[in-house]
Amino acid sequence: MEEVWVAGAAMNKFGKMSDTGREAAAKVSLEAIRAAGLEPKDIEYTFVSNCFGVAERQAHVGPLINTSLGIPDVPSATIESACSSSSAALHEAYVHVAGGFLNAALVVGVEKLSHMETLSATSYFAMGADYAFEARNGATFPGLYATLASAHMQKYGTKPEELGAVAVKNHQNASGNPHAHFQKPITIETYLNSAPIAWPLKLYDCCPFSDGAAAVVVVNPAKYRRDIPGTSAVIRASARAGSIAALQDRPDLTALPAARTAGEKAFKQAKVTPKDIDFSEVHDCFTIAEVLAMEDLGFYPKGKAAPAAREGQSAVDGSTPINVSGGLKAKGHPVSATGAAQVVEVFEQFNGHAGKRQVKDPQWALCHNVGATGGSCSVHIFEKK
Amino acid sequence: MEEVWVAGAAMNKFGKMSDTGREAAAKVSLEAIRAAGLEPKDIEYTFVSNCFGVAERQAHVGPLINTSLGIPDVPSATIESACSSSSAALHEAYVHVAGGFLNAALVVGVEKLSHMETLSATSYFAMGADYAFEARNGATFPGLYATLASAHMQKYGTKPEELGAVAVKNHQNASGNPHAHFQKPITIETYLNSAPIAWPLKLYDCCPFSDGAAAVVVVNPAKYRRDIPGTSAVIRASARAGSIAALQDRPDLTALPAARTAGEKAFKQAKVTPKDIDFSEVHDCFTIAEVLAMEDLGFYPKGKAAPAAREGQSAVDGSTPINVSGGLKAKGHPVSATGAAQVVEVFEQFNGHAGKRQVKDPQWALCHNVGATGGSCSVHIFEKK
């Protein structure tokens, strides 16, 4: 088994994007390749995520990106898993490089939906749920995550002020991230007074619709070591799991089984425990999702994560920093770019480039990326090198 | 490097499908798993292709298929590359098993578009082209392949009667295939008198819009050998390549560069030559595409494939059997199911189950699956075991 390093990573500013998806993807790809000290011709395979390319009438975007990079002959494949698409793509790249099939691969996720009406964006997102049993009957993601939130509140007494603490922290972190969609801190009062979206979730519980692109270059260091200019992130674990997609068929609504399974596999593979992780980027499409992640990954026992968030334990300078980038909640959530963007944060933190949101000398980081309401989950663990 | 065997494969009848995509995918998956002598719980990863799931408002179909199979915890990923999606998925499964990451994986491709208006189906297909430079300006696939056909006619004197011979042969082969969309032979007169679609292509040059699903189970035989009931197909090569997608930017329109590159890689990997191949399933979305494939793969020198087709060399009992299943042209082309369905034909031929279209004692087979007008291409070579 070969070692697999993230040698370069880059993203654009999430938010409303004037570039088309193919343009944005090519730009961040070139930046990531250069950050790795490579040239496009060193890339041997391109793994692309672009779930809603149809909104731009453009499927099969891999050859277009490779052509823009000047490497049209290089094979590409689209790898998707709803909101966890580019972490699923990273898993494929990891397997190819770890197995010795490739020495350098590009992973790039991109999404552009802002040119659609908001209703259409919601409708596109809802295709990640179980259409026959959820979306067709009117359930969209705010409603589905509201169901998870109310179950958690009922069982563990989770309070709006605790979910609000997650939102306030993530907006605070995003205010130090020039790539973030939202760069203004909010107060707990702003949170508590915000409009209800789907009870118990308010406006500030929900991540925005964002456009964006993010790219990651993975290499076999034995072949490329001399060229890597900065600090790399060694992928010590790349684990994925699935679960029943429809909430109605799950025995328990206070945890995401795919996240628990993928997390357990990842910690076993990396031979570390939650205590060893210096910071985590987790899938907080809604504030409750961050609370679930903190528990599903074993950072906190069930019912203890939300109070811990309110106590500041998950802040940049807390005992268990979570979403130091601002997370999906405030950095933004351009579906297929999200998993790769989490890795960009790991790369920037390991290189000491995170400015105001810099975690002190991190050695280990974790990324947790959920597809839909947890039909899929990927967990990656990285060591600084 | 572990050996990778196709131990089971299954498809439904291509054509108009009353099942939803998720239902059809689960059914053929179960059939393929049983053909391999396995149970669903033996499957460790599911690679799904479903390019136009959005037409059913269902993205992220992997967890739904796995849940139907009773294995919701198993990870899944969507792997796509336009019309070459499920061969790209097979490549991922191959790498996972060959690299020792998995012992048994499911590859399943499914597409349902017949509930859409025909215009919509054409529009969906066109998303596989370069939107900005082709589809936005009105080019859909019949027009793009007509461009390739007219260039080939001009340079090599390729005749309508030669393209017609491809159509007549593939309809003949499909008439012996109970899974085929079209099961009626046609005459050369029917072909020649059929309506023009995009000059020089006529109605019978074009494959139909089909619904359908096909599944393939790949295993590491060292772990599963005792359970495999029938004859398997060893994957001796799994190769992919890309190319400039837009025809306007290609230096030559009489070959698909991605097919040439993937073919060369595959023959090198399998350590065989075109002479060793007993039959091939190639990507004949239009008759000209079969002619290009015969040349791009090295079965014939440039300009010699079309006359050879007219002489009957590519018939089931010819010297170089091509598309014994009926091909995309007559078996049908449910985009994401096509690559996997080609492998189903290899599996049935190797097991001697191909009835009227059975090739005599085949030992080696090749599958060639093209994405769009050749922005991507996968070539797989199989040995009977």
A72 by Cβ neighbours in 10 Å (0-12 / 13-18 / 19+) ranks as: buried
Contacts of A105 in chain B (CB under 8 A): none
Q: Say whether both A275 and A147 belong to one domain.
A: yes
Q: What is the pLDDT of residue A226?
A: 62
Q: Say whether both A159 and A99 belong to one domain.
A: no
Q: Which of A152, A181, A333, A380 is catalytic?
A: A333
Mean pLDDT (chain B, rounded): 96
Q: Say whether both A100 and A165 belong to one domain.
A: no
Would an 8 Å CB–CB cutoff place A231 in contact with chain B? no
Q: How far is B70 from chain A (nearest CA, A)?
A: 9
Q: What is the pLDDT of residue B117?
A: 73
Cβ distance of A60 and B249 shorter than 8 Å:
no
Of all residues in chain B, the percent with pLDDT exceeding 70 is 99
- In the predicted model, what is the mean pLDDT of residues B56-83? 96
Contacts of A129 in chain B (CB under 8 A): 60
Q: How confident is the model at residue B225 (pLDDT cuts 50, 70, 90)?
A: low
Give the C-alpha distances (Å, rounded to integers) separating A333 from A50, A329, B50, B288: 13, 7, 23, 43
Q: Are strands A46-49 and A104-111 parallel, antiparallel or unpaired?
A: parallel
Q: For residue B382, is pLDDT > 90?
A: yes
Contacts of B127 in chain A (CB under 8 A): 53-54, 57-60
Would an 8 Å CB–CB cutoff place A375 in contact with chain B? yes
Q: Which of A48, A74, A78 to mutate to test the interface with B (most CBs of B within 10 A)?
A: A78
Q: Is residue B168 part of a domain?
A: yes
Q: How confident is the model at residue B226 (pLDDT cuts 50, 70, 90)?
A: low
Cβ distance of B81 and A62 shorter than 8 Å:
yes
- In the predicted model, what is the mean pLDDT of residues A155-166? 98
A43 CA to centre of own chain: 23
Decide if A111 contacts A212 (C-beta within 8 A): yes
- In the predicted model, what is the mean pLDDT of residues A25-39? 96
Encoded tokens for A150: 């109310």
Distance CA A167, CA A189 (A): 11
Decide if A78 contacts B80 (C-beta within 8 A): yes
Cβ distance of B80 and A99 shorter than 8 Å:
no
Distance CA A40, CA B361 (A): 45
Distance CA B249, CA B87 (A): 26
Would an 8 Å CB–CB cutoff place A244 in contact with chain B? yes
Q: What is the pLDDT of residue A119?
A: 67
Q: For residue A121, is pLDDT > 90?
A: no
Distance CA B110, CA B236 (A): 25
Distance CA A79, CA A156 (A): 37
Give the HSE-up count for residue A278: Cα atoms under 13 Å, Cβ half-sphere: 15
Q: For residue A12, is pLDDT > 80?
A: yes
Q: How confident is the model at residue B70 (pLDDT cuts 50, 70, 90)?
A: very high
Residues 68-97 of A with CB under 8 A from B: 72-82, 85, 88, 91-92, 95-96
Q: Cα(first)–Cα(last) distance of chain B, in Å?
A: 18
A176 CA to centre of own chain: 18
Q: Is residue B354 part of a domain?
A: yes
Q: Which residue from B75, B130, B243 is facing A376, i.e. has the nearest CB?
A: B75
Amino acid identity, position B375: G
Q: How confident is the model at residue A124 (pLDDT cuts 50, 70, 90)?
A: confident
Q: What is the pLDDT of residue B125?
A: 87
Residue where a domain stops, chosen among B182, B199, B233: B233
CB pairs under 8 A between A and B: 197
A137 by Cβ neighbours in 10 Å (0-12 / 13-18 / 19+) ranks as: exposed
Q: For residue A190, is pLDDT > 80?
A: yes
- Residue B100's region, left for phi above 0, alpha for psi from -120 to 50, else beta, is left
Q: Say whether both A10 and A144 belong to one domain.
A: no
Give the HSE-up count for residue B202: Cα atoms under 13 Å, Cβ half-sphere: 19
Q: Say whether both A110 and A182 belong to one domain.
A: no
Give the C-alpha distances (Å, rounded to integers) separating A304 from A32, A253, A294, A310, B384: 38, 16, 9, 10, 57
Cβ distance of B242 and A54 shorter than 8 Å:
no
Q: How confident is the model at residue B229 (pLDDT cuts 50, 70, 90)?
A: confident
Would an 8 Å CB–CB cutoff place B271 in contact with chain A? no
Decide if A312 contacts A170 (C-beta within 8 A): no
Q: What is the pLDDT of residue B120?
A: 78
Q: How far is A193 from chain B (nearest CA, A)?
A: 35
Q: Is residue A81 part of a domain?
A: yes
What does the CA dihedral A46, A49, A55, A59 come to, rounded to 10 degrees? 40
Q: Which residue from A57, A91, A262 is facing B135, i.e. has the nearest CB?
A: A57
Q: How far is A127 from chain B (nearest CA, A)?
A: 5
Encoded tokens for A175: 């205010």
| pTM over the 0.90 mark | yes
Q: Which residue from A58, A73, A375 is facing B242, i.e. has the nearest CB?
A: A73
Q: How far is A129 from chain B (nearest CA, A)?
A: 7
pLDDT tens sequence across A73-102 = 999 999 999 999 999 999 999 999 999 999
Give the residue on B whose Cα is nearest the Cα of A244: B72
Would an 8 Å CB–CB cutoff place B137 in contact with chain A? no
Q: What is the pLDDT of residue A261?
A: 98
Q: What is the pLDDT of residue A229?
A: 81
Amino acid identity, position A46: T
Distance CA A198, CA A256 (A): 20
| CA neighbor of A180 nearest in space, from A55, A355, A384 | A355
**Rg of the Cα atoms in chain B:** 19
What CATH number is associated with residue B195?
Answer: 3.40.47.10
Kindly provide the b/e burial profile for residues A155-165, where b requires at least 16 CB atoms within 10 angstroms of the residue's own CB: ebebebebbbb
Q: Which of B29, B65, B125, B131 to mutate to test the interface with A (most CBs of A within 10 A)?
A: B131
Residues 102-121 of B with CB under 8 A from A: none
Q: Which residue from B77, B99, B128 is facing A88, i.e. has the nearest CB?
A: B77
Q: Say whether both A311 and A282 belong to one domain.
A: yes
Contacts of A80 in chain B (CB under 8 A): 59-60, 77-78, 80
Q: Where do runs of H (alpha helix) occur along A127-213?
A: 141-156, 160-174, 188-192
Q: Say whether both B51 and B99 belong to one domain.
A: yes
Place of tokens 């336009």: B82
Other beta carbons within 10 angstroms of residue A173's beta carbon come to 28
Amino acid identity, position A139: A
Q: Is residue B132 part of a domain?
A: no
Cβ distance of A375 and B132 shorter than 8 Å:
no
| CA neighbor of A178 nearest in space, from A9, A369, A367, A15 | A15
Amino acid identity, position A109: G
Give the C-alpha distances (Å, rounded to integers) separating A211 from A16, A67, A332, A340: 5, 22, 8, 14
Q: How confident is the model at residue B228 (pLDDT cuts 50, 70, 90)?
A: confident
Q: Which helix (H) or strand (E) holds B119?
A: helix B118-126
| CA neighbor of A74 nearest in space, from B272, B239, B92 | B239
Would you say how long chain A is, in residues?
385
Give the C-alpha distances (Å, rounded to integers) separating A52 from A107, A112, A368, B127, B370: 17, 8, 21, 12, 22
Cβ distance of B131 and A240 shorter than 8 Å:
no
Decide if A241 contacts A258 (C-beta within 8 A): yes
* Lowest-confidence pick of A50-54, A192-196, B208-212: A50-54
Strand partners, B121: none
pLDDT tens sequence across B2-29 = 999 999 999 999 999 999 999 999 999 9
What does the CA dihedral A351, A354, A359, A362 come to, rounded to 10 degrees? -10
Q: Say whether both A109 and A195 belong to one domain.
A: no
Q: Which residue from A60, A88, A240 is facing B82, i.e. has the nearest CB?
A: A60
Encoded tokens for A87: 């972490």
A278 CA to centre of own chain: 17
Q: What is the pLDDT of residue B124?
A: 85
- In the predicted model, what is the mean pLDDT of residues A117-141? 86
Distance CA B327, CA B56 (A): 26
Residues of B annotated catalytic, as ranges: 83, 333
Q: Is residue B130 part of a domain?
A: no
Q: For residue A115, is pLDDT > 90?
A: no
Q: What is the pLDDT of residue A117?
A: 72
| CA neighbor of B4 nearest in space, from B74, B107, B93 | B93
* Lowest-confidence pick of A24-28, A53-57, A118-122, B128-132: A118-122
- In the predicted model, what is the mean pLDDT of residues A62-81? 98
Distance CA B306, CA B275 (A): 18
- In the predicted model, what is the mean pLDDT of residues B156-169? 98
**Three-state DSSP string of B98-116:** HCCCCCEEEEEEEECCCCC
Sign of the dihedral through C-alpha B254, B259, B263, B269 = positive
Q: Is A329 helix (H, G, I), strand (E, B) or coil?
A: helix
Amino acid identity, position B179: H
Q: What is the pLDDT of residue B116?
A: 81
Encoded tokens for A18: 């004037």
Give the HSE-up count for residue B359: Cα atoms under 13 Å, Cβ half-sphere: 29
Q: How confident is the model at residue A71 (pLDDT cuts 50, 70, 90)?
A: very high
Q: Is B367 helix (H, G, I), strand (E, B) or coil?
A: strand
Q: Is B89 helix (H, G, I), strand (E, B) or coil?
A: helix
Decide if A213 contacts A11 (C-beta within 8 A): yes
- What's the total number of domains in chain A? 2
Q: Which residue from A58, A64, A243 is facing B63, i.e. has the nearest CB?
A: A243
Domain that holds residue B243: 138-207+236-384
Q: Is residue B127 part of a domain?
A: no
Contacts of B74 in chain A (CB under 8 A): 241-242
| CA neighbor of A246 nearest in space, from B67, B71, B167 | B67
Cβ distance of B242 and A74 shorter than 8 Å:
yes
Q: What is the pLDDT of residue B118?
A: 66
Question: DSSP string covering B313-372, please?
Answer: TTSTTSSS-B-TT-HHHHH-B-GGGHHHHHHHHHHHHHTT--GGG--SS--EEEEEEEET
Distance CA A120, CA B265 (A): 43
Q: Is residue A191 part of a domain?
A: yes
Distance CA A26, CA A45 (A): 14
Q: What is the pLDDT of residue A55?
A: 87
pLDDT tens sequence across A265-305 = 999 999 999 999 999 999 999 999 999 999 999 999 999 99
Cβ distance of B243 and A72 shorter than 8 Å:
yes
Distance CA A277, CA A306 (A): 19
Q: Say whether both A241 and A367 belong to one domain.
A: yes
- In the predicted model, what is the mean pLDDT of residues A21-48? 97
Q: Say whether both B348 and B271 belong to one domain.
A: yes
Q: Say whether both B74 and B162 belong to one domain.
A: no
Q: Is residue B374 part of a domain?
A: yes
Q: Say whether both B89 and B215 belong to one domain.
A: yes
DSSP symbol at B243: -
